[in-house]
Structure 1
Amino acid sequence: MRKIRKSWFVIAAVVASIAWASPVSAHAQLDTSTPAPSAVLESAPTEIRLDFNEPVTPVARSIEIYNQEGQRIVLGEALVSKDDPSVLIAGDVPAIPDGLYVVAWRAVSNDGHAIDGAYTFQIGASAPIVATSDLIANVLSGQNGPRGLSWLMGIAKFLGFSGLCLVLGCLVMAAAGSIHSRRIPLFIGIGWVSAVVSAIALFVTQGPYTIAGKWSDCFKTSLWSDVYATRLGKALVIRELLLVLLLVLVWSLRGHFERSLTSWWRSTTLLVGIGIVLTLSASGHPSASAQSGIAVFADALHLSSVILWVGGLTVLAFGGVLRSNNADVVVNRFSRIATFAIPITVVTGLWQMWHLVPAVSDITQTKWGQALLVKSCLVVAAVTLGAFARWLIRRGEGTSIHRVVVVEVLIAVLALGVTAGMLSQSPEVTAANAVFSTQLVDGDMIASIAVTPGRVGNNEIHVTISTPGGSLSPVDNITMRLTLPGSEVPTITAAVSELGPNHFVGTLSILTPGTWNLEILVQPDPSTSTRFSTDVPIS
């Protein structure tokens, strides 16, 4: 009894310690760029600089420029800044003429997911600042990658999850003894093959996925080296090596199953199993979050509990043990495992939801959150069936739970499929860039205004002052400020700097979404002022 209480005390301490973590995002996002979105430049930039909110890895043609006809302009290779791993820089921009241009970018975030986006900038002030959504959409449409690739990667992830549940979960049940069914080694073999095929498939498809390439790119060794350079690539290779080591350990039991009772075999197999699970947690969403060490530990604990639970259920449902003489022994053993595995699965799953989702109200706003709700319903159904099975066991009807366990396994398989789909989605609601642009006229003065990216966070306000005839003396001073009507949010005054003749940019941070009122006060000279005002939606 003391040992049981001590175990629950350790679990409670672990849960309490991880609860101090704070909510975070999971995928990298572009914070600022040079040139800025909708910027109006006098001459061509010498480089393209992208600043993300976390370190990223560039891929082939990670930063590109297209003109308004959709033609690509050759740039230098995008490289990570030596001073900041979250900054990508592409130099050698040629002397491009006046006109409208699109910067398209693509990179890999810390959790192995490809991120991309595009924005426009302008050289020369002859054309008005406009939102060029069609041009951006045409450019991004060429960055979707081969058709069907996402489905293949989703299937590979499902094979990986289910394979590990079979090979590790069934191995734990079999190594404890009292199971003599020939089906269990078959399950372990199928699980091992599934896990190996999954890791290989994910490794070779990661290349065309990150560069939005072709199916033939799966077999390019140059891309394999690029994939290996990422955290996910290293994790997949380590997983393969650990699976080979696990095969050696399992193979050593042929004709000598009593070796599974030795401390060296059990401790070595346990360490290999933990390492395999960590390759999943250390390369997914938890690894890219704040307090990643705690998040990875919680995720590994969650996955380990699921593996023990689902693997044990598979043994009971399809291993033929319920018809054996040792049925009661095996059922009671699984019951003890489930007593710990199910609560840990539920608690760590709830914590991950709280950790990865910034606001519970946002959970229905993303595909990840919607899938999580479906998964939660499946888990509740499986836990309910498990409780019913335990009730039957306590009544001494352990051998009559076969149908209940089969249904529970099927529900668990569906939950694993939903989980595999969640890995390709971001838990955070990411507001799309909504560049706001307009032209305001007061007498002979025209103010071309663009607010970018038009969402919560750091924003830039570009203002270009001109006249219908194009001649205007340099503006003496300009002030920009934002007010959120009907709220207690204080007025925000932008820090203004001049980028060129009568082209000003104001920088500020907006923390609250809504329709803000932008007021611009232009002073052509110290004794004259003109006021422009417009409403700006911030998503």
Structure 2
Amino acid sequence: MRLKKYKPYVIVLILALACWAGVIPEYASAHAYVVSSSPSSGEVLEKSPESIFIQFDEEIEPAFYSLQVLSPSGERLDKKDAAIDPSRPDRLVAGLTPGLVDGIYTIKWKVVSSDGHPVSGTLAFQIGNPGAGSVPIVTSDNQVPSPEWSLLLIRWLWYAGMTLTTGTLLFQLFLLPRSARINGIPFKTKRSKLLLNLGIVLAATGIIASLPQQTASNAGVSWTSALSADLISETLQYTGFGTIWKIQLALLALLAFASLLWMRIGNIRHPRETDIRLSVYAAWAAMAFSQGLMLSKAFIGHAAAAEGKALAVTADYLHLSAASLWLGGLLAIVFLLPEAAAKASSPEEVASGQRPLAYWQAVSRFSALASASVAVLLISGIYGTVIHIPSLSALFQTGYGLALLAKIAVFLFMLGLAFTGFLRGRRRSRPLGRGVWVELALGFIVLALAAVLANQPPPSTAAGLPDRLEATVQGHKITLEVTPRTIGKNHFVIKLQDPDGKPMEQVEQVTLSLTSLEMDMGLIEVVMPGGSSELEADGIITMGGDWNVQVHILLKSLESLDHDFTLHVDSN
């Protein structure tokens, strides 16, 4: 079959499908959190265990994990043999030094979630002497609260590079009318080559630099230490990020090759028909590879951690693609169109001093494209907000929500400027003015805010996960679970075991008294009638932050057990 039988968009579709198939590794999609452990949090053991394990809700990356057991003095007492259980890829195990003496011990753990985010935490257990007091659970998923500047810069370079690349290719293939093309080949100037080369360089810088940056984040080391061949190799071989990074590097090489081929053919003074066709195909191939790069990015972002992964990844890709088409097209209109239109001007248009027809044709095409891009941005943006922002209050009380609000505000301002440009292009009254440059500047601010959002843990990461607190009081084990651990209505569950590990049935009543540790919010009481070892009730938490939860257990013998927990409530 000969190449000329196929239209350019058919080639793009085939390449896009190939890119899609190539960037779908099968790995889980959520920030890992602990679902069980042995010893459990706050558990009191009669004798020293031989080993410990921590089980997570998902498979964890087989790299950059650690599991340590420390004595009160800080002495390490595990056998330094932490490993992922071969039969349970969601379980981290380690052996213990035999014969641990009575006392309280701390387990410190760190893993990398399947979506590439490192998480860590601690929990405590006790050996012997259960009457000495309670052992509080101390557990956390330590996402970085604000991303490092280097990570933001790398993300921004990648976004900016893809915007420049996409905008230049879009201008040549779609925005520029055929009347402005030279010898039938999409118009090329020093400016267009400069933008395309700069875009590829910026994207390449972002991709290449992301490897040591991600390695440093996973390993918890500095950039200098992350350049170790062993750590880099571990990232590439054993993490989902490493798989995507290798795919991105291959797509980048293909993009650079197709772009170089397109530019080389453009230098031919008297091109043949086959040269013209090959030039168009090269440009469309470069566009397809750039789209493949943006698709790959969705597999190492928040979309990969959402429920309904396929739809979330698709929406994230469409959002990024629409943004790059709009902003990249705008950049081309500002930077490339004046020169191209001037070269395409007829003698009559030059004599009259009016903008040539090719100028208004390009502006009209961009207006149509921008309208479609805005529609995609709105739909995909609303969908992303729904899956990542579980409640309206999360927009105003979380770092992720505030960054999203800032992005929305800048986007709406851009939309207003774009509408005025749309009216000018439709009426052909006067050329696009300074507002286009303002719109372009705001677009790159949006890219910076997008970099912030890409590296902030969304509120939905913690929403819906039960906050399980455990303690042992006078030999009795008390477990408190709170769901969803956010502002508003919550479900409280108390589970009780006697010193023999059997369910406690002789419970008359359990009262939970909640007081905010942040400010005076009054007293919230949740009363649970007895009759079972597992009691449930609903209550309303009125503010985010840390709360003291006093558990008062009244037994039928009129004896009582009391313990205070500290509960963290998300502001969403």
Taking structure 2 as the reference length, what is the TM-score of the superposition? 0.73
Which residue matches 1:111? 115
Q: Give, in whole Å, the separation in 2 of the partners of 1:365 and 1:419.
A: 19
The counterpart of 1:197, out of the listed 205, 216, 220, is 205
The counterpart of 1:175, out of the listed 150, 173, 176, is 173
Tell me if structure 2 keeps the 8 A contact 1:308–1:341: yes
**Residues 157-172 of structure 1: matches in 2 within 5 Å?**
157-172=155-170
Which residue matches 1:21? none
Q: By how many angstroms is 1:461 displaced?
A: 5.4
Q: Give, in whole Å, the separation in 2 of the partners of 1:321 and 1:95.
A: 80
Which residue matches 2:321? 304
Which residue matches 2:303? 286
Q: Give, in whole Å, the separation in 1 of the partners of 2:399 and 2:79.
A: 35
Q: By how many angstroms is 1:516 displaced?
A: 7.1
Which residue matches 1:408? 439
Q: By how many angstroms is 1:510 displaced?
A: 8.0
Q: By how many angstroms is 1:402 displaced?
A: 3.5
Tell me if structure 2 keeps the 8 A contact 1:129–1:450: no
Given the alignment of the two structures, is residue 381 of structure 1 paired with residue 398 of structure 2, yes or no? Answer: no
Q: Give, in whole Å, the separation in 2 of the partners of 1:55 and 1:493.
A: 38
SS at match of 1:50: strand
Given the alignment of the two structures, is residue 207 of structure 1 paired with residue 224 of structure 2, yes or no? Answer: no
Given the alignment of the two structures, is residue 271 of structure 1 paired with residue 288 of structure 2, yes or no? Answer: yes
Cα RMSD, aligned residues only: 3.9
CA-to-aligned-CA distance 1:404-436 (integer Å, 9 cap, x gap): 111111111111101111122111263896857
Q: Give, in whole Å, the separation in 2 of the partners of 1:509 and 1:355.
A: 28
Amino acid of the structure 1 residue aligned with 2:559: T
CA-to-aligned-CA distance 1:254-304 (integer Å, 9 cap, x gap): 342364776643553343223211110111111121110111111111111
Structure 2 gaps, min length 5: 1-28, 181-186, 267-274, 346-357, 486-491, 514-522, 542-547
Which residue matches 1:247? 256
Amino acid of the structure 1 residue aligned with 2:417: L
Q: Give, in whole Å, the separation in 1 of the partners of 2:389 and 2:79.
A: 38
Q: Give, in whole Å, the separation in 2 of the partners of 1:220 and 1:460.
A: 48
Q: Give, in whole Å, the separation in 2 of the partners of 1:203 and 1:233.
A: 8
Tell me if structure 2 keeps the 8 A contact 1:66–1:103: yes
The counterpart of 1:359, out of the listed 387, 391, 405, is 391
**Residues 302-451 of structure 1: matches in 2 within 5 Å?**
302-319=319-336, 321=338, 324=342, 325=345, 326-397=358-429, 399=431, 401-428=432-459, 430=462, 435=469, 451=479
Which residue matches 1:90? 94
Amino acid of the structure 2 residue aligned with 1:68: P
Taking structure 1 as the reference length, what is the TM-score of the superposition? 0.77
Structure 1 gaps, min length 5: 1-24, 440-445, 466-472, 497-505
Which residue matches 2:36? 32
Which residue matches 1:100? 104
Q: Give, in whole Å, the separation in 1 of the partners of 2:559 and 2:246.
A: 64
Residue 107 and residue 533 in structure 1: after superposition, are their counterparts in 2 closer, same or farther (change >3 A)? closer
Amino acid of the structure 1 residue aligned with 2:377: T
Q: Give, in whole Å, the separation in 2 of the partners of 1:289 and 1:93.
A: 40
**Residues 2-13 of structure 1: matches in 2 within 5 Å?**
none
Tell me if structure 2 keeps the 8 A contact 1:39–1:462: no
Q: Give, in whole Å, the separation in 2 of the partners of 1:455 and 1:250.
A: 53
Q: Give, in whole Å, the separation in 2 of the partners of 1:205 and 1:344.
A: 31
Residue 144 and residue 312 in structure 1: after superposition, are their counterparts in 2 closer, same or farther (change >3 A)? closer
SS at match of 1:44: coil
Tell me if structure 1 keeps the 8 A contact 2:30–2:306: yes
SS at match of 1:48: strand
Tell me if structure 2 keeps the 8 A contact 1:456–1:511: no
Which residue matches 1:6? none
How many residue pairs were aligned? 481
Residue 219 and residue 357 in structure 1: after superposition, are their counterparts in 2 closer, same or farther (change >3 A)? same
Among the aligned pairs, what percent are the same residue?
Answer: 25
Amino acid of the structure 2 residue aligned with 1:51: Q
Q: Give, in whole Å, the separation in 2 of the partners of 1:388 and 1:295.
A: 33
